Amino acid sequence: MDAGKVKFFPRREMLDLVVADGQARGIVARNMVTGALETYQGHAVVLATGGYGNTWYLSTMAKASNATAVWRAYKRGACFGNPCFAQIHPTCIPQSGAYQSKLTLMSESLRNDGRIWVPKKKGDTRPPQDIPENERDYYLERLYPSFGNLVPRDVASRRAKEMCDNGYGVGPTKLAVYLDFGDAIKRNGRHWIEEKYGNLFDMYHEITNEDPYRLPMRIYPAIHYTMGGLWVDYNLMSNVPGLYVIGEANFSDHGANRLGASALMQGLADGYFILPYTIGDYLATETFQSLKETDEPFQRTTKDVTERIGRLLSVRGKTPADDFHRELGKVMWDNVGMGRNKKGLEAALKEIPKIRNAFWKDVKVVGTADSLNSELERAGRVADFLELSELIARDALHRQESCGGHFRVESQTEEGEAKRDDRNFTYVAAWEYAGDGKVPKLHKEPLKFDYVKPSQRSYK
């Protein structure tokens, strides 16, 4: 940027993609200070707009993180790959009340020294320090003797949920398990723990008002990353020529699961090592019509955006957008969360359109379009979450196997582990928008493995 090659536009939100002659040629963005709609024209568009974890309302995502850019691109023809693949992180601070706006992640590294347990007795209300060693169930160590507390995120998350669902949860909400550093502190001393995890312990203390040096932490899983995203080829271009998608916004790299720190890897790989080389080829070999921001494609798209904003402001209902988002989040977490089954997914597919209809009848957006209006920003994003969520549920329903972070209750081994179905599901599900109220079209991109064969995971 200092070299003058990149220009930075703070407080702008992309609200639509401009497609001209089948090529992505620009965007329509809203200036979030003045409310003015602005158009930006180029030979290609690169989206680096992040994941859609906030569809579930409560997540470890930042509050402003949203799916509007990818969703608008989807509605302009870009396919959405594997939307149901979302990662649920096991070590988050549990929700403490209905007022809560987000969940905070405690680093994965804590599982190196912390031991996860629940009381052996159902509904045990004793404080943790009063529960003797032989009445504690270190369930991950019991179930997975060789990996113990270090099993992958999806397994640790699902087992925590299972323990709580079966009545072994702890803390005021009973939706938590203990992560205990007592042994590590005894073994290495408090100073050693402070050096290693001091900032995390402080953060936990600040949020919960409990001292994790004295009492075990309480943790519970939360939505943390979305492996799905816009479909791209090896050059990171979507099926819309000239639309590139990088980072968490695309579906590539992680498959159905994700390893720790691989988001950084993808950021570097996509943005630094791949895109600079592949986009040049597109720019050099493609022919481009001359196009101005006053031309029809920009005018038409700007008109669509203006109408959409007008629609949001004209509902004039009674309920803040956030209320619909919370309601959606609950449906998603309960039915399209850690354990998914046909009944729950079908219920979600009925519930989501109901919430969406209620939103468009009763949402209240105060303020005007031509000023700084965070409520208008929020309402637009919630409207998109209310559509994307349906696609996530649809994808989860169609994938009748368990794989990675996607656990279908119907597809499990006798020991309750994820059971793959490679014969029927070794493909990327790329969904193409077919119009509002219509079932999107499913494209299957087969996955071919030359050197490694996908197999059942085991952490015993």
Partner 1 sequence: MNFTLKIWRQKSREAEGGFKTYAVKDIPPDASFLELLDVLNADLIRKGEEPIAFDHDCREGICGSCGLVINGRSHGPHKGAATCEQRMRNFRDGEEITVEPWRAKPFPILKDLVVDRTAFDRIMLAGGYVSVRTGGAPDANAIPIPKPVADEAMDAAACIGCGACVAACKNASAMLFVAAKVSQLALLPQGQAERVERAERMIAQMDAEGFGACSNTYACEAECPKKISVTHIARLNREFIRAKLI
Q: Which residues bind partner 1 (CB under 8 A)?
A: 1-2, 8, 10, 33, 62-65, 96-97, 99-102, 104-105, 202-203, 206-209, 272, 318-320, 322-323, 364, 366-367, 371-372, 374-375
What is the closest distance, in whole angstroms, from the C-beta atom of residue 81 to partner 1 in the complex?
27
CB of 208 to partner 1, least distance (A): 8
Least distance in Å: CB of 218 to partner 1? 13
Cα separation, 334 vs 425, in Å, equals: 24
CB 229 within 8 A of CB 80: yes
* Calpha distance 301→51 (Å, rounded): 24
- Can you tell me whether residue 165 is helix, strand or coil? helix
Residue 313 C-beta: closest distance to partner 1, Å: 13
Q: How far is the CB of 353 from partner 1 (least distance, A)?
A: 24
- Shortest distance (Å) from residue 204 CB to partner 1: 11
Nearest residue to 177 via CA among 226, 115, 236, 108: 115
CB 68, min distance to partner 1, A? 15
Give residue 307's identity as a one-letter amino acid code.
E
Cβ closest to partner 1, residue 206 vs residue 436 = 206
Cβ neighbours, 10 Å, residue 192 = 13
Phi, psi of 284 (to 5 degrees): -80, -30
User: Closest CB to partner 1 among 195 and 334?
Assistant: 195
| Nearest alpha carbon to residue 89 among 113, 54, 50, 59 | 59
Cβ distance to partner 1 smaller for residue 105 or 397: 105
Which CB, 131 or 223, lies closer to partner 1? Answer: 223
Rounded to the nearest whole angstrom, what is the least distance from the CB of residue 107 to partner 1 in the complex? 12
Q: Which is nearer to partner 1, 173 or 426 (CB)?
A: 173
Whole-number Cα distances in Å, 293 to 52, 152, 396:
30, 49, 40
Name every residue whose Cβ is closer than 8 Å to that of residue 429 and which is 6 or more positions away in sequence.
81, 82, 83, 395, 398, 399, 442, 443, 444
What are residue 217's DSSP bridge partners? 179
Contact indicator for 49, 29 with CB cutoff of 8 Å: no
Q: Which is nearer to partner 1, 64 or 434 (CB)?
A: 64
Instruction: Using the minimum distance from each CB to partner 1, give the nearer residue, 105 or 428.
Output: 105
Q: Cα separation of 138 and 433, whole Å?
A: 46
Provide the minimum distance between the beta carbon of 90 and partner 1 in the complex, in angstroms, as a whole number.
17
Comparing CA positions, the residue from 157, 117, 140 lying closest to residue 258 is 157
Instruction: Indicate the residue among 295 and 322 with the shorter CB distance to partner 1.
Output: 322
Q: Is 298:26 a contact under the CB 8 Å cutoff? A: yes
Estimate the crossing angle of helix 296-314 against helix 374-398, to 10 degrees. Answer: 100
Minimal distance, residue 276 CB to partner 1, in Å: 11
By beta-carbon proximity to partner 1, the closer residue of 209 and 294 is 209
Residue length of the chain: 460
171 or 242, CB closer to partner 1? 171
Ordered strands of the 12-20 beta sheet: 12-20, 23-31, 37-41
Tokens representing residue 154 in the block = 């999806």
Single-letter code of the amino acid located at 146 = S
For 347, the token pair is 């219920």
Residue 384 — φ and ψ, nearest 5°? -70, -40
Q: How far is the CB of 275 from partner 1 (least distance, A)?
A: 14
State how far the Cα of 413 lies from the Cα of 418, in Å rounded to an integer: 7
Closer Cβ to partner 1, 203 or 358, answer by number: 203
